[in-house]
Structure 1
Amino acid sequence: MNGKISFGAIAILVLGAVLAWGIMNMENLQIPQGHEENGEESFHNESVPRGKHGGWLFVEKDFQVEVKIYEKGVPPQFRVYVMDAGGKPVNHNEIGMNIILNRLDRVDTIGFKPSGEYLLGDKVVAEPHSFEMIVKAKWKGQAFQWELSQIEGRAEFSSETVKNAGLVFKKAGPAKLVTTIRLPGEIELNEEKLVHIVPRVDGVVKKVFKDLGDHVSTGEIIAILESRELAEMKIDYLTASKKVDLALADFDRETRVFESTQIMLDLLEQEQDPEETYRKLKDLVIGQSRELLIPAHAKLKLAKSVHSREKRLLEKGITSESEYLLALEDYKSAEARYIALREKIAYDGEWSLRKKKKTMEMGLLNLETANQKLLALGLSPQVVSQLLEQDDQNFTQYELRASLNGTVIQKHLTIGEAVKKDDAVFLLADLSEVWVNFSIPQKELKRVRLGQKTILKEGQKTLKAKLSYLSSVIDEKTRTVTGRVVLPNKKRNLRPGGYVTVELILEERKVPIAVEPEAIQGFRDWSVVFVKYGSLLEARPLELGGNDGNTVEVLEGLKAGEEYVAVNSYAVKAEIEKSGATHSH
């Protein structure tokens, strides 16, 4: 009795264990049920069991199909194992098979051909493996159809969620890919528009009108000095001017005397009537030459007349030879004196004119020297000329003026301070243009040339320029060459001493499809962007090309015009990972 009770109890326990195991594994053992539709066996179930090869197992009556996506060592491919109800392989030549993959952007239809123990798909199963799959098979005159939803890398975002996540969408399309060298650069003053202001004379500061940061205009008075040296220069200029006035007047009179003397010499040479000659010379300015030459000419005329008369009388025997010889002596003596006097007057007149001219020229030279000294101090020609017109003047006052339109960036003088002529009391800079200098490594020089396009970035600002200077000398310590671009700075936003990033453009090329770098996320082993299909966002694996930091070339995986998440794409990735829409087949 006791033995029978023990056996019954054991039987009950075993039966209970079997039933419990069956209940726990009922879901995995469940065979999908189908229904007839238009003569085809149709199947649809959210949970599909796995076959012995790890693929999805579809069973209907005495027909079994295991669909496997195989991707070990080969691009993803469908392998289909076809069996009867007993698990025995079916002759592949008796099977008609195709699979339709309904993706968000397209439909892929895959055919099959025998390949050993399985049927092999004729197309690569492109990533992502996210699709609605329809498996169609024909065997022994029967048509079978199963449906499977395989979703991965996909999430749904409502318009409100898109807004809250800060997603920004852009369309894929052509872009310009730029290859650059990125270098640090420093903003510097344009040395071609930089001026040191020096007094040029020793003096004491009387007034200062400009301070650091003040704007100045060309010619504007920025300080006033008192200078004894300047006073001496002004006096020298006025003295030279007065001497020139006298020399000019003297030279003018001497010129008129010389010209009148030449007229007198010419008239006396013509042997005209003396009265007529004297009348013509009456109003001319001749000076002492008239006093000497006119009497000598008159004596010559008289001696010549006496000589002629004595000669006639001698020929007639009326006078003695001694009287004639005496008259001849007087005539020759008068003639000699007259000729000598003419020569002396002509020579002395020309010599005196030359002396007066030289005196005048030296006076003009001294005046111009004094004038240039004042101009060299920065005085304008108008100010210098006014020295001759003003009686009451402050000769010691020196006006220090700006020599360009710019800004005071250094100041080294105060009221009452004594300054030297070579002291740099102000530094003025025109900040409407600035330089950006940067060091180019020696190894990059073969790819750098003058005129090359550059992009400069300071904070959020982006500026464009061209390489305007390239040093001819390599720095011995850094093995770099200095490059430079010139930037307009009308708003004074670029401050010398600041730093910028310089991108030298080495190459520019257009690519048919490109996306923004921020859009790309790592997902599984892929680089993906999330493409928009209505409210759905799906990871799209990409084959990437060049990347210039601003644009990434897409070689495969995206078509022009497709919308993708360009900003905050990490939020989409996080949502997909949270939802568990991962790779599973």
Structure 2
Amino acid sequence: MGGKRLVAALTVLAVVAAALFLWAMGMVELPWLGLVREDHLHGGKAPHGHEGIDSPDVMVTHDDEGPDGHDHGGEQSYAPYGGYEEDAHDHGGDAHDHGEEAHDHGGGGHGGHEEGVVRLDPTKRTAVELGEAVVRRGSLTTLIKLPAEVQWDADNLIHVTPRVDGIVLAVEKSLGDRVKEGELLVTLDSPEMGRARMEFLTDLNRMALAEVDFERARTIYENTKKLLAVLDERPAPREALERARRLPSGENKNLLLTKYTVMHVNERNFRREKKLFEKKISSEADYLAAESAYETARADFYSTYEEIGFNLEIDFLKAKNEFEIAKNEILNSERTLHILGLTKKETDTLRKEGAELHSEISRTGLYSPVNGVIVERHVSRGERVGRESTLFKIADTSRMWVMASVYERDLRFLHKGQKALVRLDAYPGETMEGVIDYIGSELAPDTRTVQARVVLPNRDGRLRAGMFGSVTLFSGNTGRKDTGLLVPVDALQRSEAGYVVFRVKGEDEFEEVAVEVLRKSADFALISGPVREGERVATGDLFILKAEAGKEEMGGGHSH
């Protein structure tokens, strides 16, 4: 049964096609389709031009004023990417009178006719869709329409990964959430982080002790230096002791003052014995004994003086060095924590409250590094994660990339900074403007295309990655001056020798005019021929007008 139905359907289609062909040839009438000949007109065949050369696509630029003095606006608009909108100037329908008149054959029973003129009766006119367009003067500019896709701004697309291995304790954000820089995304329990924190706290205590030792060594160093300076003045022991009270310096002070006092006492005793010996009051033995005691005390003091001065420098430098080492160790421990993901705020808190951390010492947070929207999430509670795990993708959606695929043949029309119009399938009829800011340097081997980029703002969030559309690029460097008469492409009808247009002569009355198409695009054509700027031409279902004109030629042009 299916085969029989198919044969029957094909038979019906063949009959309809044959009927339409015979009607087009003027051999039959089809009143059931509204295709009825009303009269016969003389059909003088105008000379045909030559078919023009198609460019990839073009944009139309109209001159501000035509030769007839009418202002046609000088606008550039795109329909959708090239073309114009008709202005409100009224051309009057019959304003362009070419002096053509119908021929009246008198009493022979024949109606009036004009060569190449087609008249549609009301029945045919309502059965077809015809429009009108004004012939304009303007120029064509090369444009290229390229397939494109919206992508994330890769400069602001962040993969969020943990810096330590651990178990996920909590997930704070979900897919589609808008986050700010520094907001908590995930809480982890990480033994690695716990060990790093304990080492940091140990180094922190070690540095504190080293700092105390250094401050003590510095105090001893500075006060001992001052005490040595006091003793260099050789004051009386009582005065030296009084001045040393304000200079705490530990054992050094006690040792120095003791040795100094002994030396001073022995010196005074030696001088007394010397005087007595010179006066023959004291014996030489007493004198020599006093002298020996003085020299011994003096040598003992100065050796202590030098030893303390020498050791003082060493002890101070040692304490200073140990303190610097401790500081470097704590800095390295802090750097390790930063490498593992802790922020400066967290390490500062650890310095202050580290001693109170017990069970929570291994817990750590993963924070958003940027402002944006979470576009991917790959984490759940209880999951073990590591450095190789991508838990989130966060995109800054304030601007998006539109990546166009440029074919090899169109590369010559591209350059950075070039104006581009973007249209997306999601928003038909809407055009977004941008410029080319990047052109790839390598052709993809499978598609033989190069990637070109247009960056668009996306503050309202309407652009989404993965949207398809097109990018239209404009280039005026064609090397040709394409200024002339412009008509929409749908005003052209192919003929045996090229193209024709149908000039509007009056209501439901059209004249077939042969034209030469110099160049054309998907929307407009640059033509030459016996048409003038400002005239109106038909658009739409022109094959009906062409068929009627063909019947007139075959029927001798007379209406019976």
Quick check: TM above 0.5? yes
Conservation of the 8 A alpha-carbon contact between 1:521 and 1:570: no
The CA RMSD measured in Å over matched residues stands at 4.0
Which of 116, 140, 145 is the aligned partner of 1:152? 116
Partners in 2 of 1:157 and 1:206 — Cα distance? 82
How far does residue 379 in structure 1 lie from its aligned partner after superposition?
Answer: 2.9
1:407: which partner in 2?
A: 373
Partners in 2 of 1:477 and 1:338 — Cα distance? 94
1:436: which partner in 2?
A: 402
How far does residue 295 in structure 1 lie from its aligned partner after superposition?
Answer: 0.8
Task: Tell me which moved more, 295-304 or 538-547.
Answer: 538-547
Partners in 2 of 1:419 and 1:73 — Cα distance? 77
Which of 481, 499, 503 is the aligned partner of 2:472? 503
Task: Tell me which moved more, 171-180 or 226-235.
Answer: 171-180
1:363: which partner in 2?
A: 326
Task: Tell me which moved more, 315-324 or 498-507.
Answer: 315-324
SS at match of 1:395: helix
Structure 1 residues 225 and 69, CA, compared in 2 at 3 Å: closer, same or farther?
A: closer
Structure 1 residues 107 and 505, CA, compared in 2 at 3 Å: closer, same or farther?
A: closer
Which of 406, 416, 432 is the aligned partner of 2:382? 416
Partners in 2 of 1:209 and 1:525 — Cα distance? 73
Bigger Cα Rg: 1
C-alpha distance after superposition, 1:543-570 (max 9, x if no partner): 44443434433455555554555xxx22
SS at match of 1:387: helix
1:470 aligns with 2:442: no
Q: Which runs of 5+ in 2 are unaligned?
A: 1-38, 51-92, 105-110
Aligned length: 458
SS at match of 1:357: helix
2:522: which partner in 1?
A: 549
C-alpha distance after superposition, 1:73-114 (max 9, x if no partner): 999xxxxxxxxxxxxxxxxxxxxxxxxxxx9554568xxxxx
Which of 236, 248, 266 is the aligned partner of 2:199? 236
Larger strand share, 1 or 2? 1
1:339: which partner in 2?
A: 302
1:257: which partner in 2?
A: 220
What does 1:390-405 align with in structure 2 at a 5 Å threshold? 390=353, 391=356, 394-405=360-371
How far does residue 415 in structure 1 lie from its aligned partner after superposition?
Answer: 1.6
SS at match of 2:431: strand
SS at match of 2:168: strand
C-alpha distance after superposition, 1:201-258 (max 9, x if no partner): 1211222233333333322222222222222222222332233333223322222221
Sequence identity percentage: 26
Residue type of the partner of 1:248?
E
1:97: which partner in 2?
A: none
1:522: which partner in 2?
A: 494
1:570: which partner in 2?
A: 540
2:155: which partner in 1?
A: 192
SS at match of 2:256: helix
1:115: which partner in 2?
A: none
Conservation of the 8 A alpha-carbon contact between 2:158 and 2:394: yes
2:140: which partner in 1?
A: 177
Structure 1 residues 182 and 580, CA, compared in 2 at 3 Å: closer, same or farther?
A: closer
Conservation of the 8 A alpha-carbon contact between 1:155 and 1:576: no
Structure 1 residues 268 and 562, CA, compared in 2 at 3 Å: closer, same or farther?
A: farther
Conservation of the 8 A alpha-carbon contact between 2:437 and 2:453: yes
Higher RCO (CA-CA < 8 Å; seq separation 6+): 2
How far does residue 289 in structure 1 lie from its aligned partner after superposition?
Answer: 0.6
1:223: which partner in 2?
A: 186
Structure 1 residues 191 and 72, CA, compared in 2 at 3 Å: closer, same or farther?
A: closer
Q: Which runs of 5+ in 1 are unaligned?
A: 1-45, 49-55, 57-67, 76-102, 110-130, 136-146
